[in-house]
Chain A
Amino acid sequence: MAFDYDKWVRPGKLPHIWCPGCGHGIVMKGLIRAIDTLKLEKENTAIVSGIGCASRLPGYMDCCTLHTAHGRAAAFATGVKMAKPEMNVILVGGDGDGTAIGGNHFIHACRRNIDMTYIIMNNYIYGMTGGQFSPCTPTGHKASTTPYGNPDPGFDIAKLAIGAGATFVARGTAFHANQIDKLIAEAIQHKGFSVVEILDDCPTTYGRRNKFKSVIEMMNRLKEVAVPVKAAEKMSAEQLQGKVLTGVLYKEEKSDYTSEYAKVIERAQAGK
């Protein structure tokens, strides 16, 4: 029997705004499969986003949903989680929203290790505003504001998250659709701040400027560059040139923020 996505989709809120060929819908389906597998309760699950194409996702989900301001998802979500630690808090957004204007909130959410899951759809571009380069646009690539090629080096979101203190970091791609739900489910189950970067495609504003002839070509590129971490262990540095590791990249058991704050409350009430 086909999986019933509709039970998690808000009645009457489709169709979505995403362009044909965009991978965000694949990620949303992965998220739905993950939270359905984990049997999360809609009323006890907050999905929080910033601004951008990916950040429109919460509106389609039949949960407690909060579409905040540009870059601020992690900070709003921190308030929700601190106020109601028993809630499942999931953040979604794009690469520009999360690593440029929201970069500070992102690294500090990682540092606090607050028990939330952040799904970053990295399509290397600001799609909603028409294709300006983001902190994840590869050097040399074209965007509407880098007509002569991007002079900036890009962020490695996963490395950034690990360096900032996130205790679960995974990466998947929109091509590897069947892996997305498993990565997200594992991230949600992890106690602490978990980051799932999904390499995504934006045929409309990125692909056409960077000589991708079709969505299929963009998807094939994701397929070609992705190397599972296990497979990578057996590969040479030369073989790994231009490749991107996928799967669970980092995992660490560490006390999370709301548990630590519960101890603060205990100490305060004991007068220590």
Chain B
Amino acid sequence: MSKKVAFLQGNEAAAQGALYAGCNFFGGYPITPSTEVAEVMSAELPKIGGKFIQMEDEIGAMAAILGASLAGSKVMTSTSGPGLSLKQELIGYGCIAEIPCVIYNVMRGGPSTGMPTGPSQSDVMCAKWGTHGDHPAICLTPASVQETYEEVIRAFNLAEKYRTPVMVMPDEIVAHMRERIVFPETGEIEVTPRKTPTVPPEQYKPYDTSFGDVPPLAAFGSGYKFHVTGLNKMQDGFPTTKAEVVQAEEERQVRKVDANIDDIVTFEEYQLDDAEVVVVAYGSTSRSARYAVNAAREQGIKAGMFRIKTFWPFPDKQIKALAAKVKGFIVPEMNLGMCALEIERNAQGKAPILGIFRVDGEPINPDQILEKIKEVK
């Protein structure tokens, strides 16, 4: 039997990916350019007995998904820049209380209202540093409709596996363009279930590290009663200010991602084997970069692309290795140099970094990248 094929928008694919992953609760608030996700979810979720709710604001939508996740649902919300800023308070709550959830954020121009229909990649730092305090961050940056579908599924899997909020951040071009998508068969892509307790309710602690850095999470209403708070907490979920406990818990929350970087970080190496000039790109910008790399190769320049699929945790190890052997990096991005700073941090002066930074709401075209590639001597 041939696979089901469709011609979909990135946002529609995101909704379909969520459904494949078993999402059964969506809390949203209208915002351009991500609203299509909420529209599809409002139509599809009730068909499978799932729940869709349009909340009174972005914060409310984030709160609703966290509440629903604690009640055992697999949850997602969608938003864009200004909404992401508003959600930061409760993204932090999700991190400290360790509540699995997926935040799908379409990157548009900013700051503030910026350019609601213009593409951008300027939320990538917000994904890691937006909420206050030390916390883990996982952020995926898909570059096509197919990949958006698959990365939303992976985001659900990572959220459950590591019991933490996970962000998927396509830029507006990826979110709104239409492409052919091939749907996987049921069961073809693995879906990670939530790790629930094996101990009886009276022995259950929501942050019991005897089960490892990612403790099992019971659901409200499943026979387990426990306490959840946004305060620094002990293993039983109750607040504490005991220095050694707070230190250990904070470190564990970050460690559960940092110690598993190789499991989380994904990337594509394109023409890198003999590359002397490496374009580091992500999202729709990587599509122009691929074209530019091909054009450069035709002109005899040994160019390649390192395409970031997982923006956070950042592929430090891979960039460090490349920095030791290449003549230079080209970093095209639709912001004023956010990824470039990460490359600089990892290159440690071993290779020059040439940026192409656009914040005018226009995509970066291949010619711009090709010209920069030629500048590397």
Q: Which residues of A contact B (CB under 8 A)?
A: 10, 13, 42-44, 46, 48, 51, 58-59, 62-69, 72, 75-84, 86-87, 104-105, 107-108, 261, 264-265, 267-269
Nearest to B44 among chain A residues (CB) is: A268
Report the minimum CB–CB distance from B308 to chain A (whole Å): 32
Instruction: Give 7 CB contacts A-B under 8 Å.
Output: A72-B59, A76-B63, A79-B25, A79-B64, A84-B220, A104-B56, A105-B60
Contact of A76 among B47, B67, B201, B227 (CB under 8 A): B67
| Structural contact, A269 and B47, CB atoms closer than 8 A | yes
| Structural contact, B70 and A80, CB atoms closer than 8 A | yes
Cα A69 to Cα B72 with chains together (Å)? 20
| Structural contact, B226 and A82, CB atoms closer than 8 A | no
| Structural contact, A68 and B93, CB atoms closer than 8 A | yes
Contact of A64 among B53, B89, B220, B230 (CB under 8 A): B220
Nearest to B62 among chain A residues (CB) is: A75
Given A46-B221, A76-B66: A67 and B60 within 8 A (CB)?
no
Residues of A within 8 A of B64 (CB): 75-76, 78-79, 82
Residues of A within 8 A of B59 (CB): 72, 75, 105
* Interface of B: prevailing SS: mixed
Contact of A67 among B68, B201, B228 (CB under 8 A): B228
Cα A72 to Cα B68 with chains together (Å)? 14
Interface centre among A42, A75, A80, A82 (most CB of B within 10 A): A75
| Structural contact, B51 and A261, CB atoms closer than 8 A | yes
Nearest 7 CB-CB pairings of A with B: A79-B67, A75-B63, A268-B46, A79-B64, A83-B71, A79-B68, A76-B67
Cα A231 to Cα B56 with chains together (Å)? 38
| Structural contact, A86 and B221, CB atoms closer than 8 A | yes
Interface centre among B56, B224, B228, B239 (most CB of A within 10 A): B56
| Structural contact, B47 and A84, CB atoms closer than 8 A | no
| B62-103 near A? 1/0 per residue, CB < 8 Å | 011111111111010000000000000110010000000000
| Structural contact, A59 and B227, CB atoms closer than 8 A | yes
Report the minimum CB–CB distance from B90 to chain A (whole Å): 6
| Structural contact, A104 and B57, CB atoms closer than 8 A | yes
| Structural contact, B225 and A42, CB atoms closer than 8 A | yes
Residues of B within 8 A of A261 (CB): 46, 51, 53
Q: Which residues of B contact A (CB under 8 A)?
A: 25, 27, 43, 46-47, 49, 51, 53, 55-57, 59-61, 63-73, 75, 89-90, 93, 201, 219-231, 238-239
Report the minimum CB–CB distance from A186 to chain B (whole Å): 24
Given A69-B93, A261-B51: A44 and B57 within 8 A (CB)?
no
Given A67-B228, A104-B56: A84 and B63 within 8 A (CB)?
no
Given A64-B220, A105-B63, A268-B43: A13 and B55 within 8 A (CB)?
no
| Structural contact, B46 and A264, CB atoms closer than 8 A | yes
| Structural contact, B66 and A67, CB atoms closer than 8 A | no
Given A59-B238, A80-B68, A83-B51: A64 and B226 within 8 A (CB)?
yes
Cα A62 to Cα B231 with chains together (Å)? 19
| Structural contact, B239 and A63, CB atoms closer than 8 A | no
Sample of 7 further A-B pairs with CB below 8 A, known A69-B90, A79-B63: A78-B60, A78-B67, A79-B66, A82-B64, A105-B63, A261-B51, A267-B46
Nearest to A46 among chain B residues (CB) is: B220
Residues of B within 8 A of A58 (CB): 227
Residues of A within 8 A of B89 (CB): 69
| Structural contact, A65 and B228, CB atoms closer than 8 A | yes
Nearest to A76 among chain B residues (CB) is: B67
Residues of A within 8 A of B63 (CB): 68-69, 72, 75-76, 78-79, 105
| Structural contact, A75 and B60, CB atoms closer than 8 A | yes
Cα A268 to Cα B57 with chains together (Å)? 25
Cα A69 to Cα B231 with chains together (Å)? 9
Residues of B within 8 A of A267 (CB): 46
Cα A86 to Cα B220 with chains together (Å)? 11
| Structural contact, A65 and B227, CB atoms closer than 8 A | yes
| Structural contact, A82 and B68, CB atoms closer than 8 A | yes
| Structural contact, A108 and B221, CB atoms closer than 8 A | no
Nearest to B227 among chain A residues (CB) is: A65
Cα A77 to Cα B225 with chains together (Å)? 16
Given A59-B239, A108-B60: A77 and B221 within 8 A (CB)?
no
Interface centre among A13, A69, A265 (most CB of B within 10 A): A69
Given A43-B224, A79-B66, A80-B71: A265 and B49 within 8 A (CB)?
yes
Cα A65 to Cα B64 with chains together (Å)? 15
Residues of A within 8 A of B219 (CB): 84
Residues of B within 8 A of A104 (CB): 56-57, 60
Cα A68 to Cα B92 with chains together (Å)? 11
| Structural contact, A66 and B67, CB atoms closer than 8 A | yes
Residues of A within 8 A of B221 (CB): 43-44, 46, 64, 84, 86-87
Residues of A within 8 A of B223 (CB): 43
Residues of B within 8 A of A67 (CB): 227-231
| Structural contact, B55 and A83, CB atoms closer than 8 A | no
Report the minimum CB–CB distance from B130 to chain A (whole Å): 15
Given A59-B229, A68-B93, A104-B60: A79 and B72 within 8 A (CB)?
no
Nearest to A265 among chain B residues (CB) is: B46
Cα A44 to Cα B72 with chains together (Å)? 13
| Structural contact, B220 and A80, CB atoms closer than 8 A | yes
